Amino acid sequence: MNPTWPDTREYWRGKRVIVTGGAGFLGSFVVERLRDRGAEEVIVPRSSQYDLRNIDAVRQLLADTSVTTRGGQRAAVDMIIHLAAHVGGIGANRLHPAEFFYDNLMMGVPLMHEAWMAGVSKFVAIGTVCAYPKFAPIPFKEEDLWNGYPEETNAPYGLAKKMLLVQSQAYRQQYGFNSIFLLPVNLYGPRDNFDLESSHVIPALIRKCIEAKEQGADHIVAWGDGSPTREFLYVEDAAEGILLAAERYNSSEPVNLGSAFEISIKCLLETIAKLTRFEGKIVWDTTKPNGQPRRKLDVTRAREWFGFEAKTTFEEGLRKTIEWYRGHR
């Protein structure tokens, strides 16, 4: 522990925090940890009440959550952790690229602007590994973010989120606004989205294997050829990384959040099949896209700048995810 880093519970004492997307997959774990750390008030706006794509709704949220100080002044929340996003797997991104671009851009850029206008002390922006160039050198280093165009199937989503990095740096330069930008790799874990139309690869494959076993199917079909590699971060580790950055990091240089563990999609599916006890054949549909060839992050900055290292082994995380899905279908 770096002696210059603040004490966790002391840091959050008296703080009021908005967590957009706080009822979602990652957000629910961030909210739990904030409460465990002693934050005074954790506010989770719901999309039914505040559509963050609408700037009037953003302004209303900030007005509704401001408080009157002893001096009679109105004060904004201390921090916004912006997790809300329109997300999905390759299939969803290919079908709805315009929605993924517009929704994510409009949920993020106006929110950061209005937070600055309202006097919010700190803004934590969550980007995506999809912002990296398709052929970035492995492992992905933050300084390579601009050295090429993202993988085509999710570029609109990745670029929309990447604009928060541009905004963070511009607002810090011109206004001195304290915002940070984090780049988590693909997340997985309990409470994930298991809808086959919109889910990411791990929940989709878990569901396919479990349902195939239950139905007595002799095979399952997977997209691509299994050769791409991915790095995955267990959701509870991601929540911890975000809060350590919120407590300890105050710069607009982007920072990766990852596990430093890379696995091919073929090995991933074989592992899931083993853990779910599916013994049928795996058929690869090579008419479907593979997505980005490799994804592995350099996680040096997170370790050195705010002391984050993933703790959950991949197989342990998969077991917990499978167990949760079996119990919550």
Q: Give residue 33's identity as a one-letter amino acid code.
A: R
Residue 89, pLDDT above cutoff 80: no
**So what's the pLDDT on residue 87?**
85
Residue 319 lies in a domain: no
pLDDT (tens digit per residue) in 150-199: 999 899 999 999 999 999 999 999 999 999 999 999 999 999 999 988 78
Q: Mean pLDDT for the chain?
A: 95
Q: Give mean pLDDT, residues 217-232.
A: 95
Which residues does 5 contact at the CB level (< 8 Å), separation at least 6? 247, 248, 306, 307
The residues that are catalytic are 157
Residue found by looking up tokens 């840091």 in the block: 11
Residue 226 lies in a domain: no
Query: Which residues form the domain of 120?
Result: 10-192+231-261+295-312
Report helix, strand or coil for 38.
coil
Residue 171 lies in a domain: yes
User: What whole-number percentage of the chain has pLDDT above 90?
Assistant: 89
**Pick from 61, 44, 43, 42: nearest CA to 52:** 61
The C-alpha atoms of residue 194 and residue 276 are separated, in whole angstroms, by 15
**Pick from 66, 245, 65: nearest CA to 168:** 245
Q: How far is CA 311 from the centre of its chain?
A: 17
Count of domains observed in the chain = 1
**So what's the pLDDT on residue 3?**
72
Q: Give mean pLDDT, residues 254-268.
A: 97
Residue 326, pLDDT above cutoff 70: yes
**So what's the pLDDT on residue 329?**
86
pLDDT (tens digit per residue) in 263-302: 999 999 999 999 999 999 999 999 998 888 888 999 999 9
Alpha-carbon distances of 203 from 12, 155, 216, 252, 272, rounded to whole Å: 33, 22, 20, 32, 10
State in Å, rounded, how far the first CA of the chain is from the last one: 40
Query: 0.85 cut: is pTM over it?
Result: yes
Report the b/e string of 125-160 with b at 16+ CB within 10 A: bbbbbbbbbbebebbbbbebbeeeebbebbbbbbbb
Residue 290 lies in a domain: no
Q: Give mean pLDDT, residues 40-68.
A: 97
CATH code where residue 43 lies:
3.40.50.720
Residue 209, pLDDT above cutoff 80: yes
Alpha-carbon distances of 114 from 60, 110, 253, rounded to whole Å: 10, 6, 21
Residue 280 lies in a domain: no
Residue 283 lies in a domain: no
**So what's the pLDDT on residue 289?**
87
The C-alpha atoms of residue 12 and residue 246 are separated, in whole angstroms, by 10
Residue 107 lies in a domain: yes
- Tell me how crowded residue 110 is: count the other CB atoms within 10 A of its CB: 18
Residue 166 lies in a domain: yes
Residue 1, pLDDT above cutoff 80: no
